[in-house]
Chains A and B, each alone.
Chain A
Amino acid sequence: MGTGRLYTAVALGGFRRYATYRTATAAGVFTNTVFGLILAYIMSALWDEKPHLGGYDQAQALSYVWLSQALLMVVATMGGGFEDELLERIRTGDIAIDLYRPADLQLWWLAQDAGRALFHLLGRGVVPLVFGALCFELALPTDPVTWLAFLVAVALGVLVSFSLRYLVALSAFWLLDGAGTAQMSMIAGVFCSGMLLPLNVFPGVLGEVVRALPWSSLIQAPVDVLLGTADPLGTYAFQGAWAVGLLALGRLLQSAATRRVVVQGG
């Protein structure tokens, strides 16, 4: 089918685009590894103090750290992917050209972001995780089915992350300058995804709230599937529900915004 080929080509383009910057990728791997090292010592001091905190043992907590460093760029926890470019295109009005193209705006950028995520999984995910597994005692499963289940959860995490960042980009239609929304979204992403601290360590109601928010799909959910501390099907349902809801909201705002562009352009 023609459209399938088109979006595959766009996704490949996204992959290749990030694959071009080899030094930057190597530098990024180095940074993820250094942060992984620092966080691993902090978390092991925390679990020394209170073993089985949040239902993890020490090896699981350390696995969490290295997996979160591996996933950081894949699920774009801190933002910084297609949305910067889309924000700029909306601000400058280049978006009008995109809307004339015989391709769906949301699907186009989703395909591109999928290519980016795949590159980061291979380019920036594997090495820090292998380094962590060599230097620390991790609780990684050997069963290929669990790894496959993990990759499905990662893919759904990318989808939720995309739909959130798509909303951030669309905000530029109303605010013109999306810098503020992008910053707020970054703050929410860092805090609520479990990048700073596993979400199951968050106490009381705060913990329940952050675990119910969409950002928990980005890091906490896939890691729990891999560590076997969450039921994969329940996790998929949670991630899928957020993805569908947020993508639909993106659609709705997109059509509202598109009508606006016509007014501005005319």
Chain B
Amino acid sequence: MDGPVQSRVGERSPRAAEDPWARQGTYARIRDGLSAYRMIAAMWIRSTMAYRASFAMTTFGNFAATGLDFVAILLMYSQIDRLGGYSLPEVAFLYGVSATAFGLTDLALGSMDRLGRRVRDGTLDTLLVRPVPVLAQVAADRFALRRLGRITQGLLVFGYAVTALDITWTPLKVLLVPVMVVSGAAIFSAVFVAGAAFQFVAQDASEVQNSFTYGGSTLLQYPPTVFAKDLVRGVTFVLPLAFVNWLPALYVLGRPYPLDLPVWVAFAPPLVAAACCALAGAAWRAGLRSYRSTGS
């Protein structure tokens, strides 16, 4: 009843368990990974739902904790009219997109930073012997539905921004909004996976990951005009976080892009996201190959 992972192991032939992916293509592997992810996540949801009051409280807590960032922005705007030349609704637009995209990634991959601990205490070995992609197992581990609190908060701020702003909506702009949220979540996911891959080497350096994930999402909540040119260059060309919201959102807002970039970069997020995910995937495989068990 409570062991979808184990029962799945049982369904397979012993040979498949020895070398699970020997005769599988990429498509089959992704399909396998997703179905494993779904089952592990469902298991964690069932287990959290055993304590509904606790679930309600922690979801609200998540909502409130992430909402404080926006309260800080509101407090700033109680003293000023513009920050870096941007009005409150414009900043709210940037914030809403960044927070929602980050929230989706946090929901899907929020446990990736536990990988270092798994490497240290040796529990990663348990995941390696199961005929299920390791990435799916690590990502779905402790899947927490309470992280919906963060997404809700981001969507509320986004809703406020859209009603407060006076945007002349074209079909292209309307289409760009969901594309930017989904691509943004994919870019953040790539950062999460690459960060986890780094932990195969660094083991207890999960905080480095925080500076790129939480730090990155904080950065994107403010307009690019606030930051030094070199920092903006870095998050455009080196770690392309600018494609999460800055570049597409500035197109929607009708604002000039940073660094005099051409207009079409606003539509590049899906391509950038695909490239990031491919690189992160390669980093993950390299990390996993380099893994040596603690052996203790």
Chain A residues packing against B (C-beta within 8 Å): 21, 23-24, 26-28, 30-31, 34-35, 37-38, 41-42, 45-46, 49-50, 53, 177, 179-180, 183-184, 186-187, 190-191, 196-197, 201-203
The listed residue (A28, A35, A187, A203) touching B215 by CB distance below 8 A is: A35
Top 4 A-B pairs, shortest CB-CB distance: A34-B211, A27-B205, A27-B207, A196-B72
Q: Is B284 an interface residue (CB 8 A)?
A: no
B226 near A202 with CB under 8 A, answer: no
Chain A residues near B83 (CB-CB < 8 A): 42, 45-46, 49
Q: Which residues of B contact A187 (CB under 8 A)?
A: 61, 64-65, 68
* B64 CB → nearest A CB, Å: 6
Q: Is the CB of A30 within 8 A of B207?
A: yes
Residues of A within 8 A of B82 (CB): 49
Q: Are B69 and A196 in contact (CB under 8 A)?
A: yes
Nearest CB on B from A36, distance (A)? 10
Q: What is the size category of the interface that chain B forms with chain A?
A: 35 or more
What residues on B are CB-neighbors of A190 within 8 Å? 65, 68
Nearest-CB residue, chain A, relative to B82: A49
User: Closest B-chain residue to A203, C-beta based?
Assistant: B78
Sample (28) of A-B pairs whose CB atoms are under 8 Å apart: A23-B203, A24-B204, A24-B206, A24-B207, A27-B207, A30-B207, A30-B208, A31-B207, A31-B211, A35-B215, A37-B231, A38-B227, A41-B226, A46-B80, A50-B79, A50-B80, A179-B54, A179-B58, A180-B54, A180-B57, A180-B58, A180-B61, A183-B58, A184-B61, A187-B61, A187-B64, A187-B68, A196-B68
- Bound complex: CA of A42 vs CA of B71, how far in Å? 15
A31 to B211, CA, bound (A): 5
How far is the CB of B274 from the nearest CB of chain A, in Å?
26
- Which residue of B57, B72, B225 has the most chain A CB atoms within 10 A of its CB atom? B72
Residue from A35, A191, A201 within 8 A of B79 (CB atoms):
A201
Question: For residue B227, which residue of chain A has the nearest CB?
Answer: A41
State in angstroms the CA–CA spacing of A177 and B50 once bound together: 14
Q: Taking the complex as formed, is B152 at the interface, i.e. its CB lies under 8 A from any CB of chain A? A: no
Q: Which residues of A contact B215 (CB under 8 A)?
A: 31, 34-35, 38
- Chain A residue numbers with a CB within 8 Å of B72 are 196-197
**B76 at interface by CB-CB < 8 Å:** yes
New A-B pairs, 6, CB < 8 Å, besides A23-B203, A187-B64: A24-B207, A34-B215, A41-B222, A41-B228, A50-B80, A184-B61
Closest CB in chain B relative to A145 CB, distance in Å:
33
* Other-chain contact of A186, B65, B75, B78, B205 (Cβ < 8 Å): B65
Is B202 part of the contact surface with A, judged by Cβ < 8 Å? yes
B residues in contact with A41, CB < 8 Å: 222, 226-228, 231
Determine the residue in chain A with the shortest Cβ distance to B228. A41
How near does chain A come to B295, taking the closest CB pair, in angstroms? 19
Let me know if B210 is at the binding interface, CB within 8 A: yes
For the complex, give the distance between the alpha carbons of A32 and B76 in Å.
22
In the bound complex, do residue B206 and residue A27 qualify as a contact, i.e. CB atoms below 8 Å apart? yes
